[in-house]
Amino acid sequence: RPGENSFHNIDDPNCERRKKNSFVGLTNLGATCYVNTFLQVWFLNLELRQALYLCPSTCSDYMMGDGIQEEKDYEPQTICEHLQYLFALLQNSNRRYIDPSGFVKALGLDTGQQQDAQEFSKLFMSLLEDTLSKQKNPDVRNIVQQQFCGEYAYVTVCNQCGRESKLLSKFYELELNIQGHKQLTDCISEFLKEEKLEGDNRYFCENCQSKQNATRKIRLLSLPCTLNLQLMRFVFDRQTGHKKKLNTYIGFSEILDMEPYVEHKGGSYVYELSAVLIHRGVSAYSGHYIAHVKDPQSGEWYKFNDEDIEKMEGKKLQLGIEEDLAEPSKSQTRKPKCGKGTHCSRNAYMLVYRLQTQEKPNTTVQVPAFLQELVERDNSKFEEWCIEMAEMRKQSVDKGKAKHEEVKELYQRLPAGA
């Protein structure tokens, strides 16, 4: 007797349902799939999520006295509202994955053209800080500063008179050159390395009132709670006039002590790895983005790949499979051996480290009532859709079975010798 599936081509709507205790995925929107990886990393920053939930929302104008206006779909008006709503859905939706296209449109990103993922992260941070700086609540207003912002100084010393001049600069991420390096720590050391200003490149010293040989270097003054390290894989190739991807293996450890690199000693500078952003593919203009992110509450590692999310066994980061997927490049190098607590990758383009703290993160970030109401409304729509699809599936099966019986009966009526 044929199985039910042979009577219809309608998928089981329950395949679209979120499994218990799992995270929610995001629809792949083509060339902007790197946005999905950042969204999942930011969603799992509980302090940022909490602060965004505290933002006042125009959503209240959209609510009626007796709840939500039934006939109108909620349309977030600002970047903050888009993020709030997305985060609320990621937290409490019944769907296996949700669609972030409203957010991507609000940012004005072209889903048909692959932008630079590394540029996007910077652009978005400054946009978010700008938006939140107008908020009255200091916990909301300063969240980007508190979480992601550090400070360094460009220090130039005149070789003639020894005068030191400082130019202070904020950063949301450190951009590390990876060419010629094998380890993350080498990349950080190069970032802070002294350079000589000589010949045509000499420095005009205010004290000497003339151009002098000098040295310049970066000094790290303060580091944020969340340290974003960009591994500059996508570099401009002068010969072709295009960006190219460097498929160099870089080793990095799960624990990173930044104290040797910081100007002011004293204080805690030990970080632990919390996310690895991966670009699969050889070209800088195409490929696929995924994120390995650690859940701050359980300590479990998850692989976020658009709609699909996979929990890693044994609370361990596992990059192996990503590295095997890269197409062989001309400069085929063997993967170096990695010791315990260290990893090697030729596809990681951003590493996120979190400052190690004694206290566990606040495990309950509550979705505010106005957002929860919107999520419940979306969940009701989803449940209605499931019932509708199940009904269509049942009708299709019933029709198929009836047809099957009809054919069987015809066969039985045929003369034996036919």
User: pLDDT, tens digit, for every residue of 39-62?
Assistant: 999 999 999 999 999 988 876 565
Q: Is residue 78 a part of any domain in this protein?
A: yes
DSSP 337-359: P--TTEEEESSEEEEEEEE--SS
Angle between helices 46-53 and 79-92 (to 10 degrees): 120
Residue 301 lies in a domain: no
8 is catalytic: no
Q: Is residue 390 exposed (0-12), middle (13-18) or buried (19+ Cβ within 10 Å)?
A: middle
Mean pLDDT confidence for 331-350: 80
Does the structure show a pLDDT above 80 at 402?
no
Identity of the highest mean pLDDT range in 113-122, 276-285, 407-416: 276-285
State both tokens at 359: 């206290």
Over residues 189-200, mean pLDDT:
95
pLDDT of residue 243: 83
pLDDT at 323: 58
> What is the Cα–Cα distance from 106 to 301, expressed in whole angstroms?
30
Whole-number pLDDT of residue 389: 85
Degrees (nearest 5) of the Cα angle 180, 183, 185?
A: 110
What pLDDT sits at residue 363?
66
Full residue range of the structural domain in which residue 20 is found: 16-148
276 domain residue, yes or no: no
- State percent of the chain over pLDDT 90: 53
Q: How many domains does the chain have?
A: 1
The pTM for the full model equals 0.86
Q: How far is CA 147 from CA 155, 258, 407, in A?
A: 25, 16, 68
Average pLDDT, the chain: 86
pLDDT band at residue 278, thresholds of 50, 70 and 90?
Answer: very high
CATH, residue 38: 3.90.70.10
Give 25-37 pLDDT, tens digit per residue.
999 987 777 899 9
Q: Among 48-57, 59-68, 175-184, 306-315, which stretch is predicted with the lowest mean pLDDT?
A: 59-68
Q: Is residue 357 part of a domain?
A: no
> Helix, strand or coil for residue 202?
coil
The b/e string for 127-149 (b: 16+ C-beta within 10 A; e otherwise) is: ebbebbeebeeeebbbbbebbbb
DSSP annotation string for 114-151: ---HHHHHHHHHHHHHHHHTT-SSHHHHTHHHHHH-EE
Contact 57, 49 (CB under 8 A): no
Is residue 251 in some structural domain? no
Can you tell me the mean pLDDT for 223-242? 90
Q: Answer yes or no: 292 catalytic.
A: no
At 7-17, the pLDDT tens digits run 455 677 788 89
CA gap 6, 387 in Å, rounded: 21
Report yes or no on 129 lying in a domain: yes
The catalytically annotated residue of 288, 338, 386, 404 is 288
Cβ contacts of 162-171, under 8 Å, gap ≥ 24 = 163/205, 163/206, 163/207, 163/208, 165/206, 168/221
Say how far apart CA 144 and CA 121 lie, in whole Å: 13
297: tokens are: 């509450």
> Catalytic residue among 33, 55, 59, 149, which?
33
Specify if 378 maps to a domain.
Answer: no
Query: Stretch 92-114: mean pLDDT, rounded?
Result: 83
Tell me the pLDDT band of 1, cut-offs 50, 70 and 90. very low
Q: In the predicted model, is pLDDT for residue 114 greater than 60?
A: no
Residue 75 — very low, low, confident or very high, per pLDDT cuts 50/70/90? confident
Q: Is 304 helix (H, G, I), strand (E, B) or coil?
A: strand
Q: Is residue 101 part of a domain?
A: yes
User: Where is pLDDT greater, at 29 or 383?
Assistant: 383
Residue ranges in 192-282 assigned as alpha helix (H): none
Residue 78: pLDDT above 50? yes
For the ranges 72-81, 105-114, 278-287, the lowest mean pLDDT is seen at 105-114
